[in-house]
Amino acid sequence: MNPILFAAVLAISLAGCAATADLSPAYALHEKQPEGLAIVSLTLTGKALDKMSGFEYRIREVPPRDEEAVVATSRYASARQHARSLQDGGSRRQTDHRAIVKEANGIEPLDIRDATKTTGRLATLRLPPGDYEFHAWKASELNAYGETEYGPPRDFSYRFSIEPGVATYIGRLSLNLSERNTQRITVEDRRNDDLAILREKYPAIDIGQIVFGVGTLHP
């Protein structure tokens, strides 16, 4: 493959879906910052999280309503122009994100427990302003033959909004994955538990300025 075209294809694949990193412990959100924060706890019940090799949720931007949408298409005269556009940030921002709960060699602590079991972690997602939705999940489990990957048969929708310079608590998103391979997702307001964890992890974030936007899950 042409090296320039290969670079463009690689950049597209990386831009299409990227992990949303957590914050440094000293992070502080200010009202003049261009991004906002979504604070959400992500858990797995039914199957034991410690037996899973990977678990993540997928997030995407919600497009504007049809009457507000504008179709914008970038056209390039060459693969070189395409690669340069992607290197410079392209004509569109990141639209698909991975909120990782557990992965191989992951460094983020699993800090949510149910009795004696670790079930998930508190995630702080730094995102540009806009409307978003959790729409899919993926879980992987090692077995004697390799690995089994689980996922929903169809997308769901849990929507939330991001405003610049604002931290929004959007609840606890919990997947129950049974041993019979059935699944059920729920959303709960667990602010007391979750914000206690947040206070320990990010003492520079003012808990009193967090807004609450726990919404409704749609299948």
Question: Per-residue pLDDT for 50 more than 60?
Answer: yes
Q: Kindly report the backbone phi and psi dihedral angles of residue 76, in degrees, each rounded to the nearest multiple of 5, phi listed first.
A: -120, 140
Name the amino acid, one letter, at 86: L
Q: What is the pLDDT of residue 32?
A: 87
Residues of the chain by 3-state class (helix, strand, coil), percent to 5? 20, 40, 40
Task: Give the whole-number percent of the chain exceeding pLDDT 90.
Answer: 58
Over residues 24-48, the pLDDT tens digits come to: 889 988 888 899 999 999 999 999 9
Q: Which residues, at least 6 apart from 56, have a Cβ–Cβ distance to it below 8 Å?
A: 98, 99, 100, 101, 102, 103, 137, 138, 139
Give the pLDDT band (50/70/90) at residue 154. very high
pLDDT at 146: 86
Given this model, what pLDDT does residue 75 score? 58
pLDDT tens per residue across span 94-107: 567 889 999 988 78
* Ramachandran angles phi, psi of 169, nearest 5°: -85, 125
